Structure 1
Amino acid sequence: MAPTSATGQAFTELTPVSFLRRAAAVFADRPAVVDGEFRCTYAELWERAQRLAGLLARHGVQPGDRVCVFAPNTHLTLEAHYGVPLAGAVLVALNTRLSAGEIGYIIEHSGARLVLADTELLPLLGNAIAELSDRPGVITSDDYDQLVAESPRHRVEVTDERGLLAINYTSGTTGRPKGVMYHHRGAYLNALAMAFHTTMDTATRYLWTLPMFHTNGWCFPWAVTAAGGVHHCLRKVDPVEIWRALISDGVTHLCAAPTVLSMLADHPDATPLAHPVRVFAGGAPPRPTLLARVTELGLDVTHFYGLTETFGNALLCVGQPEWEDLAPGDRAGRVARQGIANVVGEPARVVDRAGNDVPADGSSLGEILLRGNNVMLGYFRDEQATADATAGEWFRTGDLAVRHPDGYVEIKDRAKDVIISGGENITSVEVENALTAHPEVADAAVVAGPHDVWGEVPIAFVTHRPGGSVGERELIEFVRSRLARFKAPQRVFFGRLPTTSTGKLQKNLLRERARGLVSEEKVTTP
């Protein structure tokens, strides 16, 4: 008998919404969501998602229309990840930390018809849409639950798994945010990859420390459901509440940027946990010293690497059994690498300027290129940016890395962040890791500062750990004892590091600050 063709009746289009339909049948009476006083099972969550789709249809939302959700990590945001695509619409999760002008731009650029908004954010939303010529409709969280309960079930079947599922706007450090287009297939596969690599099952209790508006929560709104775990919603990142959840609620999994891990490690409530908790870090390369600290608290950290353009996590540092026998510092150094492609991804390439793969020697620098099912369709309404981001059939990440003999990739810098001093390339990450190895340093950022002789020299911005008081000269000598002398920062300034609304370090602001500071105080020759 000839095999059934891909267009035959036995074939169905992939969509992450199918995970909830399955969970409603297999895990019907199991808890699905904990959000303050709100609780629901998987059967109830599936019912609510279908009724949300019905609510959207009642408000005139048609297949292909864009629907924004503007809310923290609540059941409303989680349900939108199912109800919006069930209506055939496209989900646009708005970053709650943006300015009114930025929010207004995204709503206008996406052409959103409707916004599902948390009541606490209504003043900001009002300012954002006040100047728009075509204002979207708004449904508030105060009315949401009742309106969902009163709406009919509705469901639009996915007819093309490469059709548009969501648009995630970048929180880039320069220029207007770009709308990254996700397809159903990519979200489905990357969600499965997350469930697989994080070893989730029905005993999983996932704490929502990662914003769901950030690349659709790295696809975890769908991954946790696929595993039948419990979504523990968290309105804001609060170390007190996180430690309470870790100690008292039996949380087993969470995702966090290195800044959040540092907050947890330095908090007075920090204590070694009675049960292991799997933590997945991303957003920036975690410092080996930070990884060593949180490991002592019972937080088993796996480093993920990805971009908005790759549905979140594309690479991860898969641990090897042999690493367990290494000294803590050596093991932390291995774990801090960006690693290898996730189970649904294509192997990453690291290429030089000519497009040739660099040798796997741990020192030859090149740009990371990615491709596969977990790469975006392109940028919404921006063909030029889409073209600029590709090299043939590969997506250009802009991140510079080396490949080690074991095949693992390790990021050294963003291409634009490399410091060229007297013709020598200095990667800021290397200097930052040396700075944060000092026991009194919580975090550090290194940028290029102008120099009359050498062109550029490293300038460091450092945040002390609580109680820390190490000074500039001592830190410079500390780095010189670990790196070549020309790599050490020529000046060190102390204070809080600026970040974007999603926790990305704003090195563009530090570069401007460095230029201003250096113009006032001449930097010494290295």
Structure 2
Amino acid sequence: MEKLKPNSANNSPLTPLTFLERASTIYGDSPSIIYNDTVFTWSQTHRRCLQLASAITSLGIRRGNVVSVIAPNIPAMYELHFAVPFTGAILNNINTRLDARIVSSILIHSESKLVFVDYASRDLVLEALLLLPSSQQRPLLILIKDDEETSSSTIGFISTYDDLIMSSDADFNWVYPISEWDPMILNYTSGTTSSPKGVVHSHRGTFIVTVDTLIEWSVPKQPVYLWTLPMFHANGWSFPWGIAAVGGTNVCVRKFDAEVVFSLIKKHHVTHMCGAPVVLNMLTNSPDNKPLEKPVHILTAGAPPPAAVLFRTESLGFMVSHGYGLTETGGLVICCTWKNKWNLLPATERARLKSRQGVRTIGMTSVDVVSPSGESVKRDGATLGEVVMRGGCVMLGYLKDPEGTRNSLKNGWFYTGDVGVMHEDGYLEIKDRSKDVIISGGENLSSVEVESVLYGHPAVNEAAVVARADEFWGETPCAFVSLKDGLKGKEIPTEKDIVEYCRKNLPHYMVPKTVVFKEELPKTSTGKVQKFVLRQIAKEMGPLQKSRM
């Protein structure tokens, strides 16, 4: 036995890039991408990605270079998930809602050699390039035009996307990774700092999380997948490669709009889609939210979904699955796997159980909740600790940040920075980001629990809770709330009404002492509420004086 070793026949590097050629062979005549009136088949998508990879190589891009993309969910964005790593380069998706300063910081930090730019982000990127230091090599620019808009100036760009493809070789031999540990993806965790954290993922990790997610969500062959989740958000939770693996149809949509989503679901017989809880909330509050003709599977993650939102979503005919992951894991690694006995419970209780994050996926080695000493916390559903995990899809590390990498990858674990509890049945529940925990009178208070109750109020559209300084308690909950449209008269709650509602549904120490009404809560492009903005507002409000409620 000891003489049997890995060799080239049994040790080919794992990479999800092989999924595309297989899809072309098996599903060649089936639709791969639908966008407005444009329809591609899998054989066409395979050919276009090879042509694009050939063109990128002809521009001098080599193994290990970074190629950036700033675009919404359009066909080009999908194709670049294969074409860029086909060249041996590293794909870097940039959030379309960032400002020029942050985009510039990412381009500087990543040392990007080439940037594909959607026409809607043209001015943003040109402004960002003006902020590059003179010592920084200016990346080459490719303009992605659109059927909806063809008049954008190409000044400053070396080519358009379509021209680049048409001038290239469809017989290009794509660059296979030397090692499955070779970097393939570079994602940035935050758009709120001048020192962004660049998360690097390998071919191996991306392969593992892609296959793992397909298995966990029980995705069948040839689903119809609607792109309501931005591909620039953790590479769309690995589904650009996953949908190729199962020969599905990618229905692309430039901008999320509830009316458009319901229309596309009906028109294309959509079977699957993903989105943050804010997407679920927008769908359930839309005037077009009539019950679906056929069930649609929807996978939600990104923030703990309130049970009330899950209940309303499922009442429309969506079959909701709930997961948890981070940019550092490349996709979802914990899912709320359903137990048959839960079907016998009342709907509200089922929704509460489903709002928990769940158990590790089969591709993850281990997940735990630990105390500051590193010991596992009690499995009582109440003792808070930090969520830690280990598994094959955990990042290689942070680009150019050895200290940040050491602080996150230590003691054999990836420390997530998320606070959670472990229930007696082994199911994990996220309670907060560590920075969002409110310490009131010495008690650790979960803002997520308060938000979940606020979402149950019939007039509340969105809710977020942060800490506000309090002279007596140290910190107390401050709730920011937006109300549903169309409310009249007594339907419109006052601050007192919201507080009284919370008193009936929460321990008194968890009841918000302040309620701020806003037309809309500030959010990132992926639907997460920007709590750092709300914390600043609460800070500017000053401390509550002698609050003894």
Residues 441-465 of structure 1: CA deviation (Å, up to 9, x unaligned): 1221111111112111111111112
Give the conservation status (yes or no) of the 8 Å contact 1:100–1:124.
yes
Give the conservation status (yes or no) of the 8 Å contact 1:198–1:278.
no
Aligned to 1:515: 539
Aligned to 1:469: 492
Aligned to 1:486: 509
Structure 1 stretch 508-517 or stretch 345-354: which is displaced more?
508-517
Query: Cα distance, 1:311 vs. partner?
Result: 0.4
**Does residue 140 of the first structure (1) align with residue 140 of the second (2)?**
no
Residues 81-129 of structure 1: CA deviation (Å, up to 9, x unaligned): 1011111111011111110111111111111111111122211111111
Residues 188-230 of structure 1: CA deviation (Å, up to 9, x unaligned): 1111112222222334100011111111111000011101110
**Does residue 357 of the first structure (1) align with residue 357 of the second (2)?**
no
**Does residue 459 of the first structure (1) align with residue 459 of the second (2)?**
no
Equivalences for residues 9-28 of structure 1 within 5 A: 9-28=9-28
SS in structure 1 at match of 2:461: strand
Aligned to 2:205: 186
Query: Cα distance, 1:347 vs. partner?
Result: 2.5
Question: CA–CA distance in 1 between the matches of 2:66 and 2:429?
Answer: 37
Question: CA–CA distance in 1 between the matches of 2:125 and 2:325?
Answer: 29
Aligned to 1:244, which of 260, 263, 267?
Answer: 263
Residues 251-278 of structure 1: CA deviation (Å, up to 9, x unaligned): 1111111111111111111111111100
**Does residue 150 of the first structure (1) align with residue 167 of the second (2)?**
yes
Which amino acid in structure 2 is aligned with residue 14 of structure 1?
L
Question: CA–CA distance in 1 between the matches of 2:112 and 2:369?
Answer: 38
Give the conservation status (yes or no) of the 8 Å contact 2:472–2:547.
no
Question: CA–CA distance in 1 between the matches of 2:3 and 2:14?
Answer: 20
Question: CA–CA distance in 2 between the matches of 1:427 and 1:30?
Answer: 48
Residues 321-370 of structure 1: CA deviation (Å, up to 9, x unaligned): 11111101100000000111112112211001111101211111111001
Residues 150-182 of structure 1: CA deviation (Å, up to 9, x unaligned): 201321111111110010011255553211001
Question: CA–CA distance in 1 between the matches of 2:441 and 2:375?
Answer: 26
Which amino acid in structure 2 is aligned with residue 188 of structure 1?
F
Aligned to 2:87: 87
Aligned to 1:262, which of 281, 284, 293?
Answer: 281
Structure 1 stretch 481-490 or stretch 349-358: which is displaced more?
481-490
Aligned to 2:424, which of 393, 400, 405?
Answer: 405
Give the conservation status (yes or no) of the 8 Å contact 1:258–1:286.
yes
Give the conservation status (yes or no) of the 8 Å contact 2:384–2:420.
yes
Question: CA–CA distance in 1 between the matches of 2:507 and 2:395?
Answer: 40
Query: Cα distance, 1:524 vs. partner?
Result: 3.1
Query: Cα distance, 1:503 vs. partner?
Result: 2.3
Equivalences for residues 366-445 of structure 1 within 5 A: 366-445=385-464
Query: Cα distance, 1:3 vs. partner?
Result: 7.8
Query: Cα distance, 1:57 vs. partner?
Result: 0.8
SS in structure 1 at match of 2:505: coil
Q: Go from structure 1 to structure 2 and tell me whether the alpha carbon gap of 1:418 and 1:432 turns closer, same or farther (over 3 Å shift).
A: same
Which amino acid in structure 2 is aligned with residue 24 of structure 1?
S
Q: Go from structure 1 to structure 2 and tell me whether the alpha carbon gap of 1:518 and 1:241 turns closer, same or farther (over 3 Å shift).
A: same
Aligned to 1:503: 527
Residues 18-51 of structure 1: CA deviation (Å, up to 9, x unaligned): 1111111111111111122222111111111111
Which amino acid in structure 2 is aligned with residue 121 of structure 1?
S
Question: CA–CA distance in 1 between the matches of 2:163 and 2:3?
Answer: 48
TM-score (norm 2): 0.93
Which amino acid in structure 2 is aligned with residue 39 of structure 1?
V
Q: Go from structure 1 to structure 2 and tell me whether the alpha carbon gap of 1:131 and 1:513 turns closer, same or farther (over 3 Å shift).
A: closer
Question: CA–CA distance in 2 between the matches of 1:10 and 1:314?
Answer: 27
Query: Cα distance, 1:8 vs. partner?
Result: 3.1
TM-score (norm 1): 0.97
Give the conservation status (yes or no) of the 8 Å contact 1:190–1:344.
yes
Q: Go from structure 1 to structure 2 and tell me whether the alpha carbon gap of 1:37 and 1:192 turns closer, same or farther (over 3 Å shift).
A: same
Give the conservation status (yes or no) of the 8 Å contact 1:173–1:500.
no
SS in structure 2 at match of 1:501: coil
**Does residue 273 of the first structure (1) align with residue 292 of the second (2)?**
yes
Question: CA–CA distance in 1 between the matches of 2:532 and 2:163?
Answer: 45
Give the conservation status (yes or no) of the 8 Å contact 2:270–2:296.
yes
Question: CA–CA distance in 2 between the matches of 1:122 and 1:206?
Answer: 28
SS in structure 1 at match of 2:19: helix
Residues 359-416 of structure 1: CA deviation (Å, up to 9, x unaligned): 2111111110011111000001111111121231111111111111111100111112
Give the conservation status (yes or no) of the 8 Å contact 1:340–1:347.
no
The percent identity for this pair of structures is 40
The number of equivalent residue pairs is 525
SS in structure 2 at match of 1:481: helix
Equivalences for residues 61-140 of structure 1 within 5 A: 61-132=61-132, 133=134, 134-140=137-143
Question: CA–CA distance in 2 between the matches of 1:369 and 1:346?
Answer: 11
Give the conservation status (yes or no) of the 8 Å contact 1:171–1:501.
no
Question: CA–CA distance in 2 between the matches of 1:210 and 1:89?
Answer: 24
Question: CA–CA distance in 2 between the matches of 1:423 and 1:331?
Answer: 32
Give the conservation status (yes or no) of the 8 Å contact 2:115–2:142.
yes
Structure 1 stretch 170-179 or stretch 429-438: which is displaced more?
170-179
Give the conservation status (yes or no) of the 8 Å contact 1:351–1:369.
yes
Equivalences for residues 251-330 of structure 1 within 5 A: 251-330=270-349
SS in structure 2 at match of 1:456: strand
Give the conservation status (yes or no) of the 8 Å contact 2:336–2:359.
yes
Question: CA–CA distance in 1 between the matches of 2:263 and 2:3?
Answer: 54
Give the conservation status (yes or no) of the 8 Å contact 1:443–1:464.
yes
Question: CA–CA distance in 1 between the matches of 2:419 and 2:126?
Answer: 41
Segments of 5+ residues of structure 1 without an aligned counterpart are: none
Question: CA–CA distance in 2 between the matches of 1:215 and 1:310?
Answer: 9
Which amino acid in structure 1 is aligned with residue 372 of structure 2?
R
Question: CA–CA distance in 1 between the matches of 2:11 and 2:547?
Answer: 68
Which amino acid in structure 1 is aligned with residue 537 of structure 2?
R
Query: Cα distance, 1:501 vs. partner?
Result: 3.2
Structure 1 stretch 243-252 or stretch 164-173: which is displaced more?
164-173
Structure 1 stretch 241-250 or stretch 468-477: which is displaced more?
468-477
Question: CA–CA distance in 2 between the matches of 1:120 and 1:365?
Answer: 44
Residues 274-319 of structure 1: CA deviation (Å, up to 9, x unaligned): 1110001111101100000010100111111111001021111111
Q: Go from structure 1 to structure 2 and tell me whether the alpha carbon gap of 1:448 and 1:2 turns closer, same or farther (over 3 Å shift).
A: closer
Question: CA–CA distance in 1 between the matches of 2:180 and 2:85?
Answer: 12
Question: CA–CA distance in 1 between the matches of 2:191 and 2:7?
Answer: 40
Question: CA–CA distance in 2 between the matches of 1:118 and 1:448?
Answer: 39
